[in-house]
């Protein structure tokens, strides 16, 4: 590295995720009655200075006066800041060590807490430019060195003028004072760093926006910890995915686009171009045609349990991994089922409707307890199994039927046939998946086999039940009641009318596919699915993908990771290793797993290799997708 390029990096909200003086206030004001009010005044002063709306020097004096800090408070502050280093700074520690001569920390913060943080990353102490505190004899912070240029308004400009750096200067920071360096003609470019905070007026002035240090390094062709800047990952989220997912994707540095409802096939074909990650719930259909338009799609997140709305085989052909949330909303669905069972047994829906009409129908006729009733569960997966546990706690006798051998919980008893379950159950609850061969599995014959006066619940998939047969069973009195949460056709948005033959029938609970729609479940899903997607993108880990071969990978250390997705045909692994051997590449680890359609090969290699190996890997016959992680 020659001495003709310098990288000026801010500290607060850039090197670290937070403003240090704001955090110092959290420490020094502990126990103060008006702590919240004082902290807000400190934050307002900080933001005013960082946005160029007020005098920095005046604001700094006011902040220190409000803090009432002592030297003893600096140690816990430093410990806090060590844990709040920005994610992209943390993962690019090698860059700071390799380019230490050319990196300057220029901050209006204070050396007393900046130096211990940044020197851990290899930054030289002589390259740290910041303010210093003044202390009294008791160690109280009583001010700052007023002769330090960085304590002055436009102090960073004055410092850079004094340094007179010979060469190209690039500034990375979140505040207006960082932009002023470029405005004064002392830097080639200013990059607004937005990983932690976005100041609109600063972004508007910037030459470029850097949502992470990776983007900055990428643009300057500098070594970085990941194979591409994360802001080049475009995420399209449909159907009101929980804000937690948006927060996590943004924190990772991805570009986010959201749509409140589902999209039609034509609309999705248009919108999915250049999208890397697609997030949907249950209404959006991801077809083969949609995938043909997805030129950059890496993975799909189903923010729900089911994936029958996604053409999984076509995803495999395209090398697109699919992740769902198989357990995140289990409890929510089960609680709804339990509640509906009790309400139907007590005729609560009809009683409530009459009350709203002014009819006082106080009668025990047809109302029964759930205790000692026989609950038949069809589908004993995660939801069915948990339902059996809660139902048993209510005193119900639980039976289940599943085509797959499952471990029974508690005193639940397995039925050998579906008919056996139907004939003995007072209440039947359906919890099977949405695979194609389950379509129409519950119809006229199944309702006929049930006990007279039984109760029926479907909280699984709409296309599994023959609705006309269900309607007839209710109208004829065969069923005492029913609860349905899923339907063969469901409105795409809340503005569309729900049209269905079940409307208006007695003792029937209809809910708009809300089995998993609780705040807890949606937040759990909004956390789980992005975590699996980001793990796949960042490490290649395909664990818990619903369509890809599942591989749990070790941490990538001091190596490059080659990720190869190919058709499952003979000879591909041999061809991959032939390319590596032909280029004298040292293999540190290799992991392979296949399914009927694709093979997934992960190879960790030494960092030193001829770059032509990358192009040769892409040309291996039967290759679907190839990428590399650094």
To the query of whether residue 463 is one of the catalytic residues in this protein, the response is no
Question: Which of 73, 281, 461, 560 is labelled catalytic?
Answer: 461
Residue 527 has pLDDT above 60, yes or no: yes
Query: For position 1, what pLDDT does the model report?
Result: 37
Res 252 pLDDT > 90: no
The CATH class of 230-323 is alpha beta
pLDDT at residue 301 tops 80: yes
* Residue 13 DSSP label: I
* pLDDT 10s digits, 177-210: 999 999 999 999 999 999 999 889 999 999 999 9
Convert the pLDDT of each residue in 12-36 to its tens digit: 999 999 999 999 999 999 888 888 8
**How far is residue 299's CA from residue 292's CA, in Å, rounded to a whole number?**
14
- CB-based contact 89:15 (threshold 8 Å): yes
Residue 231 CA to residue 249 CA, distance in Å, equals 10
Every domain of the chain and the residues it spans: 5-220, 230-323, 335-510, 554-628
- Domain 335-510, CATH among 3.40.50.2300, 3.30.390.10, 3.40.190.10, 3.40.50.720: 3.40.50.720
3-state secondary structure of 68: coil
* pLDDT for position 492: 76
Question: Is pLDDT at 241 greater than 90 in this prediction?
Answer: yes
CA–CA dist 147, 136 (Å, integer):
18
pLDDT at 2 > cutoff 70: no
490 flagged as catalytic: yes
Q: What is the largest CA-CA distance in the chain?
A: 93
CA angle 305/273/225 to nearest 5° reads: 80
- At 447 the pLDDT is 97
Measured CA to CA in angstroms, residue 593 lies from 288, 298, 301, 320, 564 at distances of 24, 18, 21, 16, 11
Give tens-digit pLDDT for 303-332.
Answer: 998 898 999 999 999 999 999 998 888 999
Q: What are phi and psi of 374, to 5 degrees?
A: -95, 120
417-458 pLDDT, tens digit per residue, is: 999 999 999 999 999 988 788 889 999 999 999 999 999 999
| Cα–Cα distance, 284 to 239 (Å, whole number) | 8
Order of strands, edge to edge, in the sheet holding 427-430?
413-414, 397-401, 374-378, 427-430, 454-458, 479-484, 508-510
**Domain 335-510 in the same topology as domain 230-323:** yes
Integer angstrom CA distances of residue 625 from 317, 460, 547, 598: 10, 35, 15, 11
Q: What is the pLDDT of residues 127-174, one digit of tens each?
A: 999 999 999 999 999 999 999 999 998 999 999 999 999 999 999 999
Neighbours of 466 (CB within 10 A): 20
- Mean pLDDT along residues 485-509: 91
User: Alpha carbon of 280 to those of 302, 337, 518, 525: distances in Å?
Assistant: 5, 24, 17, 12
- Report the C-alpha gap between 330 and 515 in whole angstroms: 9
Please identify which of the residues 513, 532, 561, 627 carries the catalytic annotation: 513
Instruction: Report pLDDT for 494.
Output: 84
The overall average pLDDT reported for the chain is 93
Class of domain 5-220: alpha beta
pLDDT-based confidence at 3, cuts 50/70/90? low
| Tokens linked to 103 | 């990196």
- Per annotation, catalytic residue among 267, 490, 523, 535: 490
In this structure, the number of other CB atoms found within 10 A of the CB of residue 458 comes to 25
Could you give the CA distance from residue 89 to residue 83 in angstroms, rounded to a whole number?
12
Instruction: Summarize pLDDT for 80-102 with one digit per residue, the tens.
Output: 999 999 999 998 999 999 999 99
pLDDT digits (tens, 9 = 90+) for 360-396: 999 999 899 999 999 999 999 999 999 999 999 999 9
Residue 594's CB: how many other CB atoms inside 10 A?
Answer: 16
CA 162 to chain centre: 46
pLDDT in tens, 573-587: 999 999 999 999 999
State what percent of residues in the chain have pLDDT above 70: 99
Quote the pLDDT of residue 49: 73
Our answer to whether residue 461 is catalytic in this structure is yes
| Strand-strand pairing, 623-629 and 560-567 | antiparallel
* pLDDT surpasses 70 at 491: yes
User: What's the CATH class of domain 554-628?
Assistant: alpha beta
Half-sphere exposure of 320 (CA within 13 A, CB side): 30
Q: How far apart are the C-alpha atoms of 528 and 223, rounded to whole Å?
A: 31
């Amino acid at each position: 590295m020659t001495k003709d390029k310098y990288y000026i990096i801010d500290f607060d909200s850039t090197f670290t995720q937070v403003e240090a003086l704001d955090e110092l206030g959290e420490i020094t004001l502990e126990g103060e009655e008006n702590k919240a009010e004082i902290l807000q005044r400190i934050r307002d002063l900080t933001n005013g200075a960082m946005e160029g709306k007020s005098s920095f020097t005046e604001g700094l004096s006011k902040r220190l006066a409000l803090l009432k800090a002592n030297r003893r408070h600096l140690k816990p502050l430093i410990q806090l800041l060590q844990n709040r280093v920005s994610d992209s700074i943390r993962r690019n520690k090698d860059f700071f060590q390799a380019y230490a001569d050319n990196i300057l920390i220029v901050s209006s913060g204070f050396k007393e807490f900046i130096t211990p943080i940044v020197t851990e990353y290899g930054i030289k102490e002589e390259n740290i430019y910041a303010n210093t505190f003044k202390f009294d004899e008791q160690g109280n912070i009583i001010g700052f060195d007023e002769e330090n240029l960085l304590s002055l308004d436009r102090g960073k400009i004055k410092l850079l003028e004094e340094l007179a750096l010979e060469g190209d200067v690039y500034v990375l920071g979140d505040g207006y004072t960082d932009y002023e360096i470029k405005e004064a003609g002392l830097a080639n470019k200013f990059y607004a760093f937005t990983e932690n905070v976005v100041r609109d007026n600063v972004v508007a002035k910037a030459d470029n926006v850097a949502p992470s240090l990776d983007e900055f390094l990428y643009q300057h062709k500098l070594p970085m910890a990941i194979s591409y800047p994360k802001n080049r990952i475009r995420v399209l989220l449909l159907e009101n995915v929980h804000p937690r997912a948006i927060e996590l994707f943004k924190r990772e540095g991805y570009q986010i686009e959201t749509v409140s409802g589902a999209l039609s096939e034509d609309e999705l074909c248009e919108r999915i171009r250049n999208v890397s990650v697609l997030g949907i719930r249950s209404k959006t259909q991801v077809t083969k045609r949609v995938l043909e338009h997805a030129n950059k799609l890496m993975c799909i997140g189903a923010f729900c349990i089911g994936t029958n709305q996604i053409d999984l085989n076509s995803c495999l052909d395209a090398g697109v991994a699919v992740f769902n949330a198989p357990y995140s909303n289990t409890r929510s669905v089960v609680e709804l089922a339990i509640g509906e069972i009790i309400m139907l047994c007590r005729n609560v829906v009809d009683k409530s409707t009459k009350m709203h009409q002014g009819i006082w129908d106080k009668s025990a006729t047809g109302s029964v307890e759930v205790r000692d009733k026989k609950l038949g569960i069809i589908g004993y997966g995660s939801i069915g199994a948990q339902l059996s546990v809660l139902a048993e706690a209510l005193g119900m006798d639980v039976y289940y039927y599943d085509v797959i051998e499952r471990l029974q919980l508690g005193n639940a008893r397995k039925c050998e046939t579906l008919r056996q379950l139907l004939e003995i159950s007072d209440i039947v609850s359906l919890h099977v998946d949405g695979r194609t061969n389950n379509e129409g599995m519950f119809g006229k014959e199944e309702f006929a086999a049930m006990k007279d006066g039984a109760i029926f619940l479907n909280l699984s998939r709409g296309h599994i039940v023959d609705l006309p047969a269900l309607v007839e069973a209710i109208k004829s009195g065969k069923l005492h009641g029913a609860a349905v949460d899923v339907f063969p056709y469901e409105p795409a948005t809340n503005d569309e009318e729900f049209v269905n033959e079940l409307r208006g029938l007695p003792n029937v609970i209809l809910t708009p596919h809300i089995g998993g729609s609780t705040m807890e479940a949606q937040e759990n899903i909004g956390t789980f699915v992005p975590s699996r997607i980001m793990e796949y993108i960042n490490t290649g880990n395909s664990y818990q993908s619903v369509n890809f071969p599942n591989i749990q990978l070790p941490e990538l250390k001091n190596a490059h990771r080659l990720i190869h997705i190919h058709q499952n045909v003979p000879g591909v692994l041999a061809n991959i290793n032939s390319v590596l051997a032909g280029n004298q590449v040292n293999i540190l680890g290799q992991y392979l797993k296949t399914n009927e359609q694709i093979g997934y090969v992960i190879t960790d290699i030494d960092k030193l290799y001829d770059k032509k190996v990358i192009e040769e890997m892409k040309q291996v016959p039967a290759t679907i997708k190839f990428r590399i992680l650094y």
